[in-house]
Amino acid sequence: MTANEERKRSTRDSANEGRSSGRPIAADYRGAVLAILFAAAASIVAGAVWYAVLGTATIQARGPESTATAAATPPLAALLAEFVRSLVIASVIARFIVLLDVVDRLSAVRLGIWLWVGFPAMLLLGSVLWEGVPWLLATIHAGDWLVKLLLMTFILGAWRRRVAAAKAPDRRDAR
């Protein structure tokens, strides 16, 4: 075994220390509930700001028949459903972050971009191609999703970084 292979094996073994079969353990999710709640809330605020800024363009892209419904304040049930939806998405992202061992900002941003390309961007493209959704409307929604996913992965990546730092042995003890 070469020195490089030995170093990779050592790194992999230390990363999986305390895990059975390489699966995450409860300690990997320490503080996750607060981070998930914060990521979901931040996502909703970001979406509200996004559509407040682009509200006129969104209404125009939807067409004249949507003007009356777009101006109305969303009912409480819709806001609660949006929060639950955001919680589910943030929970799934937190799971990916643990499974992929995302512990730095760049990896969190990359994950957010890949999630955006693979899911909302492709789903919205399909709605344009097959359901006749206007390009402008799909682009506005795609931008909203990009912002939300980057924000959530960044917040949850920061949580994961703190958990990883807390699990790492103190360097002063190694002396």
Q: Provide mean pLDDT across the span 135-146.
A: 97
Question: Which residue has better confidence, 124 or 61?
Answer: 124
Q: Provide mean pLDDT across the span 80-89.
A: 97
Residue 175 falls inside a structural domain: no
Residue 102 falls inside a structural domain: yes
The whole-model pTM stands at 0.80
Q: What is the pLDDT of residue 4?
A: 53
Contact status, residue 103 vs residue 164, Cβ threshold 8 Å: yes
Residue 1 falls inside a structural domain: no
Digit-coded pLDDT (tens) for 28-80? 787 899 999 999 999 999 999 999 999 899 888 988 766 555 556 789 999 99
List the domain range (segments joined by +) for residue 61: 32-167
Q: What is the pLDDT of residue 20?
A: 44
